[in-house]
Amino acid sequence: MVRFNYTYVLESVSKPDERYIGHSENLKQHLQEHNADWALRQFIGLRTSAVILR
């Protein structure tokens, strides 16, 4: 099984100028944990965490 690390950008639904950048190994689960006020705008999945800045 190939594992990915995701970096993503969320945008506030109520305040469109407010954004959140995060990273996770389980994007679907992590998005479910965020407040419903946030919408996924962009994401990238990489096979290795070596190139993700933490």
Alpha helices in 1-54 (DSSP H): 27-33
pLDDT at 51: 54
User: Which residues of the chain are modeled with pLDDT < 50?
Assistant: none
pLDDT tens digit string along 24-34? 999 988 888 87
Q: What are phi and psi of 16, to 5 degrees?
A: -55, -20
- Give the global pTM: 0.76
Q: What is the pLDDT of residue 33?
A: 83
- Distance between CA 24 and CA 44 in Å, rounded? 11
Q: For residue 9, what pLDDT is reported?
A: 95
Rounded CA separation 44/46 (Å): 7
Residue 46: its pLDDT value, please? 87
